[in-house]
Structure 1
Amino acid sequence: MPVSHVQLFSVPVTDQDRARDFYVDVLGFELIDDQRMGPAMRWVRVRPPGAETAITLVTWFDSMPAGSVRGLVLETPDLEESARRLEEHGVTIEGGVQQAPWGRYVQFTDPDGNGLILQASTPGGSRFDA
């Protein structure tokens, strides 16, 4: 069973408008879709510019309560600038910039409490080199 890439994954939220605005306006993602799926559901899909993998911002999975995602890792070429921008938008950086053998990172949450990590990997670094 060959798998070529991750197409999309779902992040559970309580308010799709608020989540869309956070991922697009604060994180700089591009909005791919925002359309109705019947009378009670909306398909809201975002992704980092140029990325293959998209995120759907969902409200309809009972088994996925809003805020239950942990460890969504996003890469940035400029951690300080990205962290500064997050803070300008009122996002709390938990623990400040942290150092690891594979690079530097910050941790924060989206408006629903989903846990995100923004990292700048060290060129040639590996998470498993310690």
Structure 2
Amino acid sequence: MINNIGKITLYVNNQDEAKKFWVEKLNFVVKFEQQMGPAMKWLEVAPSENEFTTFVLYDKNMMAAQNPKINLGHPSIILSTNDIDKTYDELKENNVEVGELMKMPYGSMFKFNDQDGNEYLIRQD
């Protein structure tokens, strides 16, 4: 099932300024940075190269355009799994409210809600 807390998304006004803050002021390293189209960049930072859990510095305006209902006032938590299909099936069997299983070129993922309606994402990279 779930084996790590993978990523915590921080919604930022400017990815380049956020990157500069985390890297230059807190000595974090850029773990992953890739253009995901003309207007979107995926950017992850962490305290070290060996750290599994990362902060995803995600453009706040881009997320608002993609999902107008999302709460941008708090981090989004992304959990990691080695077997997304099995995890999806197990959560459904446990009567967890799950969203659609999405298979993307950069990873497979699905959303689920806890007992209070808080949303999480599980991803297999």
> What TM-score do the two structures reach when normalised by structure 1?
0.47
Q: Which has the larger radius of gyration?
A: 1
> What TM-score do the two structures reach when normalised by structure 2?
0.49
Structure with more relative contact order (C-alpha pairs < 8 Å, separation 6 or more) = 2
Task: Please identify which structure carries the higher helix content.
Answer: 2
